[in-house]
Structure 1
Amino acid sequence: MTTSSSQPLFESAFLRKLDRLALLTRRAMVGDIQGERRSPRRGSSVEFADFRPYVHGDDIRQIDWNLYARMERFFLKLFVAEEELTIHLLVDNSASMDWGDPHKLTYARRLAAAFGYVALSTLDRVTVTAFAAGAGAQLRGVRGKAGALPLFAFLQRLNPGGAGNLVDACKRYARTAINPGPLILCSDLLDPHWEEALRALGSRPFEMTLLHILAPQELRPQLDGDFRLLDAETGETVEITADLETLQRYQTHLREWQETIERFCHGRGITYVQVDTAQPVEEFILTMLRRRGVFR
C-alpha cells in the first residue's frame, strides 16, 4: 500500500521483520473470541492456570484424576483462555499534523500501520479512528492477515482535516468504544486541553500508549530574524524575532512541556514515547519501541 501513488508504506522486507514482533500488554484483558493472547478468563488452552473443586454439572473430562487419587476429592484443571483483543489505533489528523519534514501525519500513518499489522499477525482485532473535525473517519474491527489490506488502504486515504478538538474526540471515543484493550494514540498534542483528552480516555480500562509526534523543525528550530507565525488550525498569527535568547527560551519551554506530559502519563499508567520524525520509522519501531517494552 502507498501514502502516494509511488511511495509504499513499508517495503516487504520490513513487513517480514514486523511478522516477528508482538505487542506487549502489561495485564491480561478479556477479549471476544479465541486468539493468541492470554485472558483473565479460564478456558481450554494448553497452559495450566489453577484447580477448583468439582460441582455438579461440570465437564468430567476436566477432572484431574491424579489429584483425586491423592486427595479422594474431585478437582477440575483450569487453563488460561487465549482470546483476541481489540487494538485501538487513534490517529490525530488535525491541521497541525499536516506539517514538518519529515511530515508528521505521514509518520503517524506508518506507525499506525505497523501497530495494526503486528496486531493482525497475532490474530487480534484492530480498529482505527481519525480525529480531525470534518475529516474524522473510522475503520471498524478487522482481523487476521487479510485485514492488512483494508488497514493499509484506510491509512493511505487518510487526509488531514481542519481544526481538531482532541477533547471532544477522546470523550466521544471513550463513550462509544467496545471492548477496551490496548490503545495507541498518535498525536502532536498541540491542543491546550490535552490533559482533559487523556483523562477522558483514562475513564475506560484502556492500556494506553501515547506516541507524541513532533517534527525536527519543532524540536530544533533553525530560525534567525523576524517572522510571522501562523496557527494552522485557528489562523491566528504572532510576530517574533528569532534570536539566540528566544530560541533558548523556546527549548526550555518545550522541554518543560514534554516533562509535564511524561509526568502526567506516568501517574496514570500511560506509556509515553517521544517521537522525532527525523528518525526513520523502521528504526524507531525496531529499536525505541522494543526498548520501551511496547513490542517484543
Structure 2
Amino acid sequence: MIDPEFLDELDRFDTSLKRASNAPVEGDQQSQDVGEGLTFSDYRRYVPGDDPRLIDWRVFARTEELFIKRFEAERNLTVHVLLDATASMDFGADEQNKFEYGAKLGLGFCHLTAEDHNDFKFSLVDEETTRIDIDTSTQGEVLRLVDYLNETTPSGDGDFKAALESYADTIHSRSLVLVISDLLFDPDEIADGLGALARNDVLVAQVLTPEELGPSTTGDAIFEDPESDATRRTYFGGTAARRYDERLRNHLDAIDDRCRILDVERELVNTGDDFFDSFATLWLGARLGGERRGRR
C-alpha cells in the first residue's frame, strides 16, 4: 500500500521544471512562441497586417519609424504520467513492487506539478490508456489518486505500442510525458510507442527489481510468468544464469539505443534503491532535459 505521507518529503525538491510549452495561459512556464502576452521580448519593424495595437508610439515619437512590441506569452505546462499497469509490473515484494514504486514516482511528479500551479494528467497503460484523474490538478486530487492506485491490481499483457500511439493523439500542446514501465516489450514496439510521443519532451523511468537485474536464485527453481500464469521448473545457475544476464543486457542495450535515436531521456530505476534517491535522479533528469531543449 502507498502511504501518502511520502509526498511531504518531496517538498524539499525545487518544483520548477523550466520547460517550454505552447499550452494556454496560467502557470510559470514560458513559451518560445512570441505573441501578445505578459512578458516583453523585443521589438521588430511594423509590417502591413500586424496588429496596430502593438505599435509602440513612444518609439515612433523618437524615431519616426513604426515598431511593434513582441511578447513571450506565459504558458501552462502539462505533465502527463503514463503508468504501465500490465501484469509484469505486479512483481517485487513489499516496497520493491514495481507497480507501487512506479506509482509513487508518478504521484511525486503530480505533487510537485500541482505545487507549481501547473497541470497534470495521470493514465494507466495496458491494452489502451485509461485516464484516472478527474482533470483537477490539486493536492486533493493527488491524494485521491493514491487511493485509486492502492485499489488497482496490474493485469494482462497490454499493447504498449498501440496504447501510446493512441494517447499521443490526445496531447494538443507541448508537454512533458513521463512513461513509467518495466519495458518488458519488444524493443521495436517500444520505439514505435515512444516515437509517437516524441514531439513532446519524453522521460522514461524503466523500473526493474533487484531480482530481475541480478537473480539470486540458484539450483532447482519454479519460474512463473505473471502475464499468463504459466510455470516452468528448471535448474537456474551456471549457463542458464549467464544466458539470462546476456539476454537482459541485450534488451536494455536495445532500448537504450532506440531511446537515444528518438532523443528520449531514459532512467533505469532499481526498486531496491532508496525511493527518494531514485526520484531525485528522475526529477533532475526532467529539469536538465528541459533546460537542454530550451537552449536549442
Match of 1:45 among 38, 44, 49: 38
- Distance (Å, rounded) in 1 between the aligned partners of 2:155 and 2:78: 26
* 8 A Cα contact 1:63 1:76, kept in partner: yes
Give the 3 Å change call, closer, same or farther, for CA 52–94 of structure 1 in structure 2. Answer: farther
The code of the aligned residue for 1:202 comes to G
- Distance (Å, rounded) in 1 between the aligned partners of 2:217 and 2:182: 21
- Distance (Å, rounded) in 1 between the aligned partners of 2:140 and 2:64: 50
Aligned partner of 2:6 in structure 1 is 10
Deviation at 1:23, TM superposition (A): 2.4
The code of the aligned residue for 1:253 comes to R
Deviation at 1:202, TM superposition (A): 2.2
- Distance (Å, rounded) in 2 between the aligned partners of 1:123 and 1:254: 40
Q: SS of the counterpart of 1:250? A: helix
* 8 A Cα contact 1:34 1:81, kept in partner: no
* 8 A Cα contact 1:212 1:275, kept in partner: yes
The code of the aligned residue for 2:90 comes to D
Q: SS of the counterpart of 2:73? A: strand
Q: SS of the counterpart of 2:71? A: strand
Deviation at 1:270, TM superposition (A): 0.6
Give the total of aligned pairs.
Answer: 286
Asked if 1:229 is matched to 2:228, the reply is: no
Q: Which has the higher helix share?
A: 2
- Distance (Å, rounded) in 2 between the aligned partners of 1:294 and 1:111: 17
Q: SS of the counterpart of 2:169? A: helix
Match of 1:94 among 83, 86, 92: 86
Give a deviation string over 1:76-120, Cα, whole Å, max 9, x none: 211211111221110001111011131100101100001111222
Task: Say which is worse superposed, 242-251 or 285-294, in terms of deviation.
Answer: 285-294
- Distance (Å, rounded) in 2 between the aligned partners of 1:33 and 1:288: 27
Aligned partner of 2:245 in structure 1 is 251
Q: SS of the counterpart of 1:241? A: strand
Gaps of 5+ in 1: none
Aligned partner of 2:189 in structure 1 is 196
Match of 2:75 among 80, 83, 91: 83
Aligned partner of 1:58 in structure 2 is 51
- Distance (Å, rounded) in 2 between the aligned partners of 1:189 and 1:291: 19
Deviation at 1:66, TM superposition (A): 5.3
- Distance (Å, rounded) in 1 between the aligned partners of 2:129 and 2:40: 45
* 8 A Cα contact 2:34 2:70, kept in partner: no
TM-score normalised according to structure 2 size: 0.84
Q: SS of the counterpart of 2:173? A: coil
TM-score normalised according to structure 1 size: 0.84
Match of 1:184 among 159, 178, 186: 178
- Distance (Å, rounded) in 2 between the aligned partners of 1:59 and 1:143: 38
The code of the aligned residue for 2:178 comes to I
* 8 A Cα contact 2:90 2:154, kept in partner: yes
Q: SS of the counterpart of 1:158? A: coil
Give a deviation string over 1:171-210, Cα, whole Å, max 9, x none: 3222344435211110001123x43244234235222111
- Distance (Å, rounded) in 2 between the aligned partners of 1:35 and 1:55: 33
The code of the aligned residue for 1:86 comes to T
**Percent same amino acid at aligned positions?**
24
* 8 A Cα contact 1:30 1:41, kept in partner: no
RMSD of Structure 2 on Structure 1 (CA): 2.8
Asked if 1:217 is matched to 2:205, the reply is: no
- Distance (Å, rounded) in 2 between the aligned partners of 1:143 and 1:11: 15
Q: SS of the counterpart of 2:153? A: coil
* 8 A Cα contact 2:40 2:69, kept in partner: no
Task: Say which is worse superposed, 150-159 or 202-211, in terms of deviation.
Answer: 150-159
